[in-house]
A and B are shown apart, each in its own frame.
Chain A
């Protein structure tokens, strides 16, 4: 199947700093990318949907100024967690889809720990 690469796989940062997570589609052009967050023992919660070249659409309750999403090319989307706090510690996963009716493939996830 298609490959989506997410980097880094884990990161520890100090409270107040910003962290950037990259999501790349390696063998297809991702017109749409999704960013999810998963807290322990909970399901994946959609944070935002981004279409290449457009502003991301954020889910209710997700602060767009705190979670900056950039989808500048068909193979790369980034999520920047700005001014991270311990409550932002979570597992962040991206998924990418080529077209509307195609399957979405997941990146490996990024485990963020804010200390």
Chain B
């Protein structure tokens, strides 16, 4: 079983839509959780960390459910520039485990 699982998508949404991605992790000892964004042929860049209490950064909201071992990312008011692959990352020290990514296409 993979350490981190994500729906690969793609999610095709119109501009202005709200879209949510989920990610599950297998090891309950995982300590930290992140969402990264990866544009085509580029390196991943940290979008936001995910805290137990949930956290928001502008149009982006991340949630963590330790009991069910999943994390989520909600994007409101989608922009064309949000089109990318979103990677769920779980830290089980000393390693980081990556999901396969969920591709988002925001259309005009």
Contacts and interface: CB of A to CB of B under 8 A. Distances in A.
Interface of A: 1, 6, 32, 34, 36, 42-46, 49, 91, 93, 95, 100, 103-109, 111
Contacts of A93: 43-44
A108 B95 contact: no
A91 B41 CA distance: 8
Contacts of A42: 100
Interface in B11-65: 41-46, 49
Size category of the B interface is 10 to 19
Secondary structure of the A contact surface, majority rule: strand
Nearest to A51: B94
A43 B43 contact: no
A50 to B, nearest CB: 11
B43 A106 contact: yes
